[in-house]
Structures are given as C-alpha cells and as structure tokens.
A and B are shown apart, each in its own frame.
Chain A
Amino acid sequence: MQGPWRGRLRRRRSSTRVAVGRYYDPQTGQFLSVDPLVDETGEPYAYAEDDPVNSSDPTGLWCIFGHNPNGGCRGSATVVNAWHQTDNAWDCLTSACYTTKQGAANAWAGAHNTLNYISGLPPVPAPYPCSNSDAYALGGQLPYFAVGLVVPGSEEAALLEEALADEGSSGGIDLAAGWRGTNMTDQESFAYHYAVHGDGLTPLEYAQDAQAWAASPSGAGTPVQLADGSWGLRYRTPGGGPGGILDSNGSIVTFWTH
C-alpha cells in the first residue's frame, strides 16, 4: 500500500527518515548507480547540484548494498523500502528485506564503511564477516558506498550514526529469531513489538532479553487467543515487570519489559 505510512512503523523511536545518497566513486567523482527513485526525482544521476562533497541529499537514497560490476545498485529498491518502513538500518540485515547472507554481509560492511568514513576511520577491510559475500567475490573490490554524500557533523550524519548504532549492535544476527507473527511476518512482528515495547533498548538488547525470557518464562501461563485464532500462553510478572506471550510452540508473539 502506498501512502503516508511508509516510514512510520517505527514511530515511537524516531520519526525522522535517514536518507542519504547512492554509490559514489570518489576517484572519478561520479555516481555508480541510477537513483532508484528516478520516477519521482526525474534525475537519474544528478545529486545536490553536482556537489556531493559539500552538499547533502535529504531526499535521496542510501544504497547500502554492494554494487554490481556494471555499477548498478544492488538491492536498492529493497533497501529503500526497508528504510521507508522502519527508519532504521538494522532491518536491512534481516531476511525481511534481503534474504542472503551475502546481502547481510555487504550491508554490514556498507553501513560500517559509511560510518567509518563519517568518523574519519579507515574502511572495514575485506573479507567481510560472510567470507563468500558477493562483494568479495567481485575480486575483492570494496563497494563504493555513500562516501561524500553525508557531510560530517550534519544532521544526516548524526541520524545515520544513530541508525547504524542500532544496526551495528546486531552484529548481523537475525533479531527476529524465535519470533512469530501470525499475519505479520516474523520480522515485522519483531520490529513492531520492539517499536512499541523496546524503549531504551537497542534492537539487539530487546531481542536478547526476549529470547532469554522466552527460554524460561516465570510463573504460570494464562491461555490467550492469538490473532489467528490459535492459542498461546501469556506470562506476566505480578506487580509489574517483564512479560510476554508465547505461541503453542514457544515462539515469541510479544515481549514487554515493564
């Protein structure tokens, strides 16, 4: 569904969209990919009045994955959707938007390379955590990330760092492991309940707390009917505290910390 809801599902954390640029080759000063939003922008390659180093791209896209040999931006549409849906980067590391470990590895490296660039640090060396990543297979060339498209110290950079802090803390693991959505996907379910109940925690912390809780929920479970009509057990801490709902297989339907 198109509409005003893209980018609002993570509403209780941040309403600001982090959107930066596309791949940029610092050696040639050219973009390597067409803006995936060309239908909207009408400008397949133009960026910030052709001054990417000194300008920012508040309405652009951040192509977090590695690029193809022809310069195309791999997985960009998926990433864009993920950004617009979640306002955060970490979702891009889960199967919700990219199902291969290669993609996750590239995303991980891309995110950290971008952050490292902003911070003035050297890029993450290849091979990436997933040694058979597509990027590494392409002769070991590092993907060109959005270097130059985010001005250090800018609001975008701050937002990107915040988003990457979430992403980076996941270490590339599937945060939705052990979760179950009924009509939502498992990833959507995790993302939703984290947005609602994960205040003050990183996604990884919330995921780990939920998994630890689900492994040995305290107290007697109360049978409850889930959205799909199946039955699960609801646990809560008398007097307030952590609680959650597990389905009949022990998968996490939701988890709250207080």
Chain B
Amino acid sequence: MNEFDEAVAAWQTLPFPPGSASDAIDELHADLVLADSWVAESVIPYIERGSRQLSNVDVIKRLSEFRSRATELRESSESQEDEQLLDSYREYIDSLLRAYRAFVDLAMPKV
C-alpha cells in the first residue's frame, strides 16, 4: 500500500472518540466532528470517483489548532479519564492530518 492507502486505512479503522461531560473538552469534540467532515468531503469522493476537490477550509492549519487545544486541555486535565479521552482526540486528529496530507500529495501533485 502507498502512503495514501495506509493513511486512509489508519483513519478509517480508528473509532470516532466520544464527547465529554467537560464542556471545554466537548467543545473540542464538536470541532473534531467538523474536521472529520472536512476531510471526508475531500477524501471519500476521491476514493469513490477520483474527484480532486480540496477543502475550502485550511484543514491542516485548523487541525493543528485543534491538536494544540487538545494538548493544552490535557495539560490542565484533572482526571485520568479526561487525559485518555484527549489522547484519543489527538490520535484521531493525527489520523486526519495524515489522511488529508496524503490526499493533497496524491490528488494535487506538485508541478
């Protein structure tokens, strides 16, 4: 498998993490759902039809911001449960980043 195949496989096999009773963490969870839709709207049509439609959102920048928020929340977390949840958010964000970057590299080759 190439990098795109591996990246998408890693993303698609990762369960989507749940929300949280913590308001700040749940807010990040909602953003994670949004980010997942950004990536899916580009990657899935490419898989299905070869459609090369980049997101109109700066996905990589926004995902990096979300990851930073997850890290900050984890550092201020007071429970092991929240830490584990935030770790799963970061893992999911990393999978989105990898999949979207691979899509960009494959669908929009540099000239």
- Interface residues of A, Cβ cutoff 8 Å to B: 1, 3-5, 8-9, 11-12, 85, 181-184, 188-189, 192-193, 196-197, 222, 224-229, 234, 236, 238-241, 243, 245, 253-254, 256, 258
Knowing A197-B16, A227-B57, A240-B21, say if A234 contacts B34 (CB, 8 Å). Answer: yes
Known: A4-B1, A243-B30. 11 other contacts (CB 8 A): A1-B47, A4-B5, A11-B12, A189-B41, A196-B16, A197-B16, A225-B56, A226-B37, A227-B42, A245-B33, A254-B33
B50 CB contacts on chain A under 8 angstroms: 1
A243's contact among B9, B33, B37, B55, by CB below 8 Å, is which?
B33
Knowing A1-B49, A5-B47, A229-B57, say if A12 contacts B5 (CB, 8 Å). Answer: no
What is the number of contacts between chain A and chain B, taking CB atoms within 8 Å?
98
Interface status of B15 (Cβ within 8 A of chain A): yes
For the complex, give the distance between the alpha carbons of A226 and B59 in Å.
11
- Are A239 and B26 closer than 8 Å at their CB atoms? yes
- Are B45 and A3 closer than 8 Å at their CB atoms? no
CB-nearest residue of chain A relative to B36?
A196
B21's contact among A196, A197, A239, A256, by CB below 8 Å, is which?
A239
A245's contact among B21, B34, B56, by CB below 8 Å, is which?
B34
For the complex, give the distance between the alpha carbons of A240 and B28 in Å.
11
For the complex, would chain A's binding face be called helix, strand, loop or mixed by DSSP majority? loop
For the complex, give the distance between the alpha carbons of A54 and B75 in Å.
61
A227 CB contacts on chain B under 8 angstroms: 37-38, 41-42, 55-57
- Are B56 and A229 closer than 8 Å at their CB atoms? yes
CB-nearest residue of chain B relative to A3?
B5
Knowing A3-B5, A11-B12, say if A183 contacts B21 (CB, 8 Å). Answer: no
Of the listed residues B5, B19, B29, B45, the one surrounded by the most CB atoms of chain A closer than 10 A to its CB is B19
- Are B47 and A240 closer than 8 Å at their CB atoms? no
Interface status of B13 (Cβ within 8 A of chain A): yes
- Are A183 and B41 closer than 8 Å at their CB atoms? yes
Give 4 closest A-B pairs by Cβ, nearest first: A229-B56, A227-B41, A240-B19, A236-B30
Within 8 A of A (CB), among B2-22: 5, 8-9, 12-13, 15-16, 18-21
- Are B44 and A9 closer than 8 Å at their CB atoms? yes
For the complex, give the distance between the alpha carbons of A197 and B16 in Å.
7
CB-nearest residue of chain B relative to A222?
B30
- Are A258 and B19 closer than 8 Å at their CB atoms? yes
- Are B23 and A184 closer than 8 Å at their CB atoms? no
For the complex, give the distance between the alpha carbons of A1 and B50 in Å.
5
